[in-house]
Structures are given as structure tokens and as C-alpha cells.
Chain A
Amino acid sequence: MTSQAFTIAGRVVRQLTRDRRTMALIFIVPVVVMTLIGLSFPQAGVLDYIAPALLATLALFFGFLLTGISFLRERSQGTLERLMASPLSRLDIVVGYLCGFFIFALAQTLIILLFTIYVLDVNYRGDLWQIFIFQVVVIIGAVNLGIFVSTFARNEFQMVQFIPLIILPQVFLCGVIWPVEQMPDYLQWLSVVLPLTYAVDGLRNIMLSGQSLMDVGLELAVLVGFTILISIIAAVTLRRGA
């Protein structure tokens, strides 16, 4: 990462931290959501099973939403155009925003993870640090997905429409609610190309079966591959004429 990408990341962090209401929402919303989820699962065993899928889904959802809306605002306010006319490379811009937004997405995910384990008292078998590292990979993918998808939205309303298009189908098709194996064959094939499938499988294997990051190497590799691919596509679609 070049110093220019650091400059952008630093600016994104300063900008968001100066907006106190946004900061409060970033930290309060995950707590409220997890409290409601905890109260709605009176049987601890059920919550233990669903927790890994919830962690993966919420990391994808919050990372995607935070980044997508923030990046779109850069476009609509004209600040992105100004950056595109500057000496910055497209990679600097994408990596810079990725790092800036990543910090906030990470904070939200950390709150959710710690709340799930220490407040909702969910039982897990794997190492906490390995769960955390796996979540970090999921967040980087989600943040990049948000940057990429915001290219296709002209305003916040359009961006929000991408949630039912991109996030919701993954909730139904990636084994969050019911096992992928119980779905029709053609939907099982579809789940193979969706990143949340690997995020859910990987976290379940770590949290429920006590597997290590090495054991979930395939899922991790697919998620890393997805992240690299979506970063490249995001940089390519970020034309100077964007």
C-alpha cells in the first residue's frame, strides 16, 4: 500500500469520526440488533448453531452497507471526481477507501463477535483469534463488494435496492437458514459461486467443530480469491471518467 492510499484512509477515518451521529449509529446498531436476536432465541442450543452464520451474514451486511453508502456519497458530492483528476492511481483510491472503511466495519464486527460470545453466552469450540481472523477476511470482501456495487448506483435509494439483490439472496441460498444440501440442485450450484456460502461454512467449522484456519483453508482461499477479484474489478470500473 502506498503512502497515498494511507492519506485517503486517514481522511476517511477523520471524516467519519467527525460525524458523531454516524459514529454513534455505527456502534449502537450492532448492539441493538444482537440484543434482539439474543432475546428471540430462548433456547441456547439453537443460538449456538445459528451464531456462526449470523456473524458471517452481519459482517457482510454491515460492511457492504457502510461502504456502499459512504462511497456513493463521494460520487454524488463530486469529491471522487476530484480525486480521479488528481495524480492518484485507481489502486491507491480503492485500497485507501478499503482501509478507511475497513476500520469501521471491523469495529462493528468486533462488537457483534464479542457481544455474541460474552453477552449472549454462545458456546464455541475453536480459538477466538482464529474466528476473528476469518471474520477479517469476510469484512475485507464485504467492503470491496460495497465499493464495487456503488459504481452501479446513482443515488442512495438505488444503493439500498442492491441489498435485496445482493445480500438477501445469499441469506437464503448460502446455508444461513437451512442446509444447502436440502435445496434443489440448480440452487446448490448457485450457492457455490456466492461468497457467503464459504463464510458460513468456514465459521461453522471453526466455531462448532473446533477446526483451525488451516482446516478451513479452502473456504479461506475462496474468500481471499473473491476479495482480490472484486478489488481488481472495482479498480477497473473506477474510471477517470467515473
Chain B
Amino acid sequence: MIVLKSEFTEPAVVVDRVSFSYNSLKVLDELTLQVPRGISFGLLGPNGAGKTTLIRLLVGLLRPKYGRILILGQTPSRKIAHLIGYMPQLHSLYIELSVMQNVDFFARIYHVTDRTERVQRVEQAIRLVDMWGRRNDAVQKLSSGMKQRVSLACAIVHNPPLLFLDEPTVGLDPELRVTFWEYFATLTKKGSTLIISSHTMDDAAHCDSLAFMRDGKIIAQGTPNDLRRATGSPGATLEDAFLYFVHSGKADNDD
């Protein structure tokens, strides 16, 4: 793996030589990664690179076969789950319930017990994703993009310091994608850490820092500018940078 210089310190996430396999299929191979606090961190790679498995390990849904994971200084468990927001790849919403009922339910299970505070936070989260006008509509009546927004509202309603967003922009129109990224930027300005998986380089450009993943490994890590510069060719895109690191990795392996 090639790690480029980072200006950030104090990790929110530490992944130390983690391996994971589904039966005989190795999905993560001695993966090592550190994510500083207060940034948006992109996990970029093609489908099957291991991004979703890594996120499921980080939120504690899976346990690593080998290696160690620390989230905000602790091993992933139920005890720190209230500090984490998780937006899975599926919408994962109760489709018969309204937007408001869904967000309210997640506020309750994430320990927002005070009624007045909960009402405020639910309204705030729904307004942030611009769904206040549809708050009483059943989720099953919403478009895919709207469901994505509701799913995000459910993940952020308890104001977690650390957010895991698995392909949050899939199915969104370009305008909404920009809105999402603007919102992610406001979260990091407030000190939250965002781990965002994606397979599109459009998303990558918005992240403060990136890790390129391929075949269960991280092949490069750094800021988008650093990664582009590392190719040595002026005007290189992130796509060029990804291909550069894929090929240089192959060359290393061949040697």
C-alpha cells in the first residue's frame, strides 16, 4: 500500500491488518487503515473490492477473522453504537411507516429519550434532507432518491460524531448529489467524521481524504490532490490516479 502524507492526526478509525473471508472467499486481506477525526474519508473501489464488508466490520456487524479494529478508541460493540450513524446500502426503512415515524423510531433506539429534544432533532434531520413537505407520506410512496434522503435522516438524527455511509449517493440525481455533499461538508465542519464508500470518482473528488481499494486491499491513501499528483502527469483525474495505483501495484507484485 502507498500512503501519502496527511495533515490530519488522532484517528477516529484504526484498522490494523484486518482479514475477513466469507467461507473460502477472501474479501479483505491484511487491510490497514487510519482515518483522522473530523474529515470525510472516501473508500473508493470497484464493486467487489470489499468496501461494504469493511464498513460492516467497522459498525460491528461482522467480526474480523484476523487483525484489530478500533472505533473512537474502542473495539466495535453495542456500547459505542450510539456514537455511530450507519446508512446501509439498501434503504433499510419501514416502508409502511411515514417519513416522520421512521426517523422518530431511529431517534428513540439511539437514546434520544427526551421528548422535546427528540421532536426537535427529528424535524431538524427531516428538514436537512429536504423531506419536511413529505413527512407524513408512507416511505413506500417515495422515489428511490427520496428514500435515500430519509435513510440519511435516520442515520444522522442522533447527531453521531462518526458516520458510516455505504454508497449514499447511488440513485441520486446530480442536483441531489451536490446537496448531499454540501451537507456532508457542513457535518465535517462541525467536527463529525464521515466514512463514505463509493465506486464513482465524482464522489471521490468531494472527500477530504481517500483510500483506493481493490481485491480486499488498500492500494493507495491520501488527499485527492496528493493522489492525482502522485501519477506524475499534470491534469490527471482521480480515475487516472486509480488506474496508476492499480498498475503500479501489479508491477510491484510482478517484481
Q: Are B61 and A241 in contact (CB under 8 A)?
A: yes
Q: Are B88 and A82 in contact (CB under 8 A)?
A: yes
Which of B60, B91, B96, B113 is in CB contact (< 8 Å) with A15? B96
**Bound CA–CA A88/B108 (angstroms):** 10
Cβ-closest chain A residue relative to B113? A3
**Bound CA–CA A85/B111 (angstroms):** 14
Q: Are B92 and A81 in contact (CB under 8 A)?
A: yes
B184 within 8 A of A: no
Q: Mark A52-87, 1 if CB is under 8 A from B, else 0.
A: 000000000000000000000000011101111111
A16-B96, A87-B111 known; 5 new pairs, CB 8 Å cut-off, are: A11-B105, A18-B96, A81-B92, A86-B109, A89-B78
Q: Are B81 and A86 in contact (CB under 8 A)?
A: yes
Across-interface contacts of A87 in B (CB, < 8 A): 78-79, 81-82, 109-111
Q: Are B95 and A7 in contact (CB under 8 A)?
A: no
Q: Are A7 and B63 in contact (CB under 8 A)?
A: no
Question: What are 5 A-B contacts defined by CB distance under 8 Å?
Answer: A4-B109, A15-B97, A77-B95, A78-B90, A79-B94
A14 within 8 A of B: yes
Across-interface contacts of B89 in A (CB, < 8 A): 78
**Bound CA–CA A3/B84 (angstroms):** 21
Which of A4, A14, A240, A241 is in CB contact (< 8 Å) with B101? A14
How many of chain B's residues touch chain A, expressed as a range? 20 to 34
Q: Are B61 and A84 in contact (CB under 8 A)?
A: yes
CB interface residues, B 121-139, toward A, < 8 Å:
138
Across-interface contacts of A84 in B (CB, < 8 A): 61
Q: Are B63 and A241 in contact (CB under 8 A)?
A: yes
Q: Are A81 and B61 in contact (CB under 8 A)?
A: yes
Cβ-closest chain B residue relative to A96? B109
**Bound CA–CA A13/B59 (angstroms):** 28
Q: Mark B2-46, 1 if CB is under 8 A from A, else 0.
A: 000000000000000000000000000000000000000000000
Q: Are A15 and B109 in contact (CB under 8 A)?
A: no
Rounded to whole Å, the gap between the CB of A116 and the closest CB of chain B is 31
Q: Are B60 and A85 in contact (CB under 8 A)?
A: yes
Cβ-closest chain A residue relative to B87? A82
B178 within 8 A of A: no
Q: Are B92 and A78 in contact (CB under 8 A)?
A: yes
Q: Are A86 and B110 in contact (CB under 8 A)?
A: yes
**Bound CA–CA A82/B86 (angstroms):** 7
A19 within 8 A of B: yes
Q: Are A7 and B108 in contact (CB under 8 A)?
A: yes
Q: Are B88 and A81 in contact (CB under 8 A)?
A: yes
B62 within 8 A of A: yes
